[in-house]
Structure 1
Amino acid sequence: MLNHFPKPNIDYPHRNRDYFIAGFTFFCVGVSLVIDGSASKEMQNLLGVIAWIFLFGLLIGENREVRMQVVVAVAFATAGEHFASIYMEGYTYRFGNVPLYVPPGHGMVYLTAVALSRSRFFLVNARKLAVFVIATGGLWSLWGISGIPKQGDQVGAFLFCIFVICLFKGRSPMVYLGAFFICTWLEVVGTAAGTWKWASIEPVFNWTQGNPPSGVAAWYCLVDAVAIGFSPKILNGLQKMNSWYKTSFIK
């Protein structure tokens, strides 16, 4: 089953850039979400401006494929945030809005998952990390439906099953592994700081839902899948448009 992941006995390339992106994003997520847990709306907006600057800075040095993936991830995730939070009220931010730092934050989170997925540490230890993630996420999910915690988590258990399927059947298992770590970190910090809160009852099927749900990384797998799937099509379309323009108007 683990043959789906990279083999450990290969001399994978080492790039300090990958670890910098991951470390920087983990740090920024922790600091910004703790600040926003008690900050004014003006400070929240300032965090949004800073996040956009950081995202553009991190994209310097990335190829156009990764940049387009980030653009698609930001657009899709932002639309999803407004639907899931504002419209469905599956979770709610402090001010009942979608903070300005959320769209660029999704871009940083996606880029971090990509950076982790291609890092030498993740490639060498892919199978060990997969076992760790499945064991940790599985225990967390079982805890949520055990009846022990006051706020059950049927949604989390369901999402974790989806996540495992993505991990073994999806086109980018290493990106999903990376997403699990950064997404779990931001959800735990964000909910602990009171930056947002998940509804105790999920609004569609009326299932119990943890704060945060244990398998919440599955949502980010969807973002990753959309970004990876659509970015080549968009780039190809832009290239065709550019060729048509040069052929038609430039002689």
Structure 2
Amino acid sequence: MSLLASKSTIFASFKSLGALFLFIIFGLFLDSYFFIEITENAQLYANISMFIGFFIVFWQVNKRVKEQMIYAVLIAFFGEYLFSIALGMYTYRLENIPHYIPPGHAIVYVAVLYFSKAASIIKHRIKIEKYFTYFILIYATSFLIFKNDVFGFVMTIATLLILRNKPKERLFYLTMYITVAYLEIIGTNYLCWKWPETAWNTFDFLPSYNPPSGISLFYFLLDLGCLWFYKKRHKLAWSRMKNIRKLKMH
């Protein structure tokens, strides 16, 4: 059964986000403080696991998504070195950029994309967006109250305000927020990486938690970058698709 054509929200959710969440638990465990007690080559096993997962996903998706996955890896590579190494926004366990991180960004992108494009999910889109928004507000507010996560809360509110005027992209980015929140909780609890006590370890007026709740705002730059590159590479096809959308609206 095709994920996108599936009439079951449970099937579509499990085959996209469910599979991703299980892979995150397993893949990051291989770079966790648990696993380094077993072997000094923990990150090597995490890298191997990720590249196997990446090529399985890459093999299954269509040509358009394959191209976007390549863009995601390239953007993530430069973004990680900028935000982690150059700006010190967060720090990985070995103070490097693990090889599994850039392809990991691409897999997250694809899973969220397929979830938000599945027919059964689109059918209940308004209801899902509402529940996701409530969850995000409760999640970020809890972090603010109990963890003094001002940085995460500010980014969360910024995200929700931006999405108010983007109905077509709202489901994708709300899903991305929740997915990234899950990813960050797993990664930081495994001690794969760590966030400082203030934003960029510089801005004292923006205390942060490890992880900050609304950090998905920076993942959106990756998503927008993938779309921008695809538009530039396929200007004619993109223009044709926009015209078709306009005709359908009328």
Q: What is the rounded CA distance, in whole Å, between the counterparts of 1:71 and 1:167 in structure 2?
A: 26
Aligned mate of 1:165, from 151, 161, 164: 161
Query: What are the superposed Cα offsets for residues 16-50 of structure 1, whole Å, 9 maximum, x if unpaired?
Result: 68743433321111112123112355221232123
Segments of structure 2 that go 5 or more residues without pairing to the other structure are: 237-250
User: Residue 14 of structure 1 corresponds to which residue in structure 2?
Assistant: 6
What letter is aligned with 2:63? Answer: R
CA 107–213 in structure 1, closer or farther in 2 if over 3 Å, else same:
same
Structure 2 contact 199–207 (Cα < 8 Å) conserved: yes
User: Residue 203 of structure 2 corresponds to which residue in structure 1?
Assistant: 205
User: Aligned pairs, how many?
Assistant: 223
Q: What is the rounded CA distance, in whole Å, between the counterparts of 2:208 and 2:104 in structure 1?
A: 24
Query: What are the superposed Cα offsets for residues 156-209 of structure 1, whole Å, 9 maximum, x if unpaired?
Result: 111112221343334522321331232121111111111111111112533111
Query: What are the superposed Cα offsets for residues 231-250 of structure 1, whole Å, 9 maximum, x if unpaired?
Result: 1213459xxxxxxxxxxxxx
Aligned mate of 1:32, from 21, 27, 50: 27
Structure 1 contact 166–173 (Cα < 8 Å) conserved: no
Q: Give the secondary-structure state (helix, strand or coil) at the position aligned to 1:36.
A: coil
Q: Does 1:175 align with 2:172?
A: yes
1:1-251 map, 5 Å: 13-14=5-6, 19-38=14-33, 39=36, 40=39, 42-146=41-145, 148-149=146-147, 152-170=148-166, 172-203=169-200, 204-206=202-204, 207-235=206-234
Structure 1 contact 141–156 (Cα < 8 Å) conserved: yes
Q: Give the secondary-structure state (helix, strand or coil) at the position aligned to 2:194.
A: strand
How many angstroms does 1:63 deviate by?
2.2
**TM-score, structure 1 as length reference:** 0.79
Q: What is the rounded CA distance, in whole Å, between the counterparts of 1:188 and 1:145 in structure 2?
A: 15
Deviating 4+ runs (over 4 angstroms): 15-19
- Over the residues paired in the alignment, what is the CA RMSD in angstroms? 2.4
**TM-score, structure 2 as length reference:** 0.79
User: Residue 240 of structure 2 corresponds to which residue in structure 1?
Assistant: none
Q: What is the rounded CA distance, in whole Å, between the counterparts of 1:96 and 1:216 in structure 2?
A: 20
